[in-house]
Chain A
């Protein structure tokens, strides 16, 4: 990962409203996030946590409000500067672990040499087909995408699902490093991530 990161990064969301299936999921949501900060996304089922993350990832268009990433690369959208780990893991079962990662590295513009295999300790599984992996291992493969190319913003939707204790620690370390290098992370979790969040975004009624 490059060491010189823009530290003046700032994500501003003002009065976001989001619609899904003709239903207003949330409205007038505003928050701000600075470089090096973690935002925890909380709320009950159906409150719109996934919808908000997909909105930030540019997959869903908000019906009103403003969303702006200041201090990032010029002429690039927020989506282009973000990693998104959703419920679907975007792994191809027929390809090996290495082939999956090499593809994403090329596609996301992360250069030629694959160094990310070790990010979630997948070296031993490198040449196995992804369909042979357990649920937790598949999750680790998806999370390894965070390491194949650099993106200042990480959008994580329930990243801890299926992870064992050791892998959870690895994820925490990656997030900590990313924040230390001036990145920002927005994560939706039911379980505690075990990290101090600078911003709490509450959707729906507090549980």
Chain B
């Protein structure tokens, strides 16, 4: 942890690692997409539409994973007061929101042929994902509505930490709500019984998504650090005037 804590050292490591991460991402996507679109068999029930799963499920995983990661960075920032952890949480949020949104849209595309409707509230996972997107938007709104960066960081940490606790309570509540309003005709998306012939492609896609996130996260952290330096320089200039 400590070796990443210094911004200068972080930039050095990030710059060195980025080309490799991009290459790995591209290779994994090539393999994963080939597997998802060509080699894996169509589902005996769902037919070709099952291929949406390879785009949808990893996006949903990442949507949740990035939120937890954001909570982790916020906890680190809260305990150690390290500005780089704040930057990490801040830049992770828009990426997580995009993955979350992607999961919702692809889920809706998947839902149309399966349920005959673009959206079914009966699916607890999609509903939780929707509320998760709201958390992302709220967290990002905190950063954008508080002008002073140190203050915004301190408040955003708390919002993220409260949010992480609440994400799990929401998940539990929505699942419970779902069993209460037991919908008869809904087929579960990507249930636990996935055939092995599909699993490898799904996992490859999941790793590819994660690497893509890692690359994008490093890039946006790099520009966040640059923006901060610029601000600092301007403040010093004002102070000298």
Interface residues of A (CB under 8 A from B): 19, 21-24
Q: Which of A21, A22, A23 has the most CB of B within 10 A?
A: A22
Q: Is the interface of A mostly helix, strand, loop or mixed?
A: strand
B125-167 CB mask vs A (1 if < 8 Å, else 0) is 0000000000000000000000011110000000000000000
Contact A21 B150 (CB under 8 A): yes
Please, how many angstroms separate the alpha-carbon atoms of A22 and B239 in the complex? 12
CB distance from A124 to the nearest CB of B (A): 42
Interface residues of B (CB under 8 A from A): 148-151, 231-232, 235, 238-239
Which 4 residue pairs of A and B lie closest in terms of their CB atoms, listed nearest first? A23-B235, A21-B148, A22-B149, A22-B150
CB distance from B225 to the nearest CB of A (A): 14
Residues of A within 8 A of B238 (CB): 23
CB distance from A65 to the nearest CB of B (A): 16
Contact A23 B239 (CB under 8 A): yes
Please, how many angstroms separate the alpha-carbon atoms of A66 and B235 in the complex? 26
Residues of B within 8 A of A19 (CB): 150
Residues of B within 8 A of A24 (CB): 239
Q: Report 7 cross-chain contacts, Cβ distance below 8 Å, ordered by A residue.
A: A21-B148, A21-B150, A22-B150, A22-B231, A22-B232, A22-B235, A23-B235
CB distance from A2 to the nearest CB of B (A): 38
Please, how many angstroms separate the alpha-carbon atoms of A100 and B238 in the complex? 41
CB distance from B156 to the nearest CB of A (A): 15
Please, how many angstroms separate the alpha-carbon atoms of A22 and B236 in the complex? 10
Residues of B within 8 A of A22 (CB): 148-150, 231-232, 235
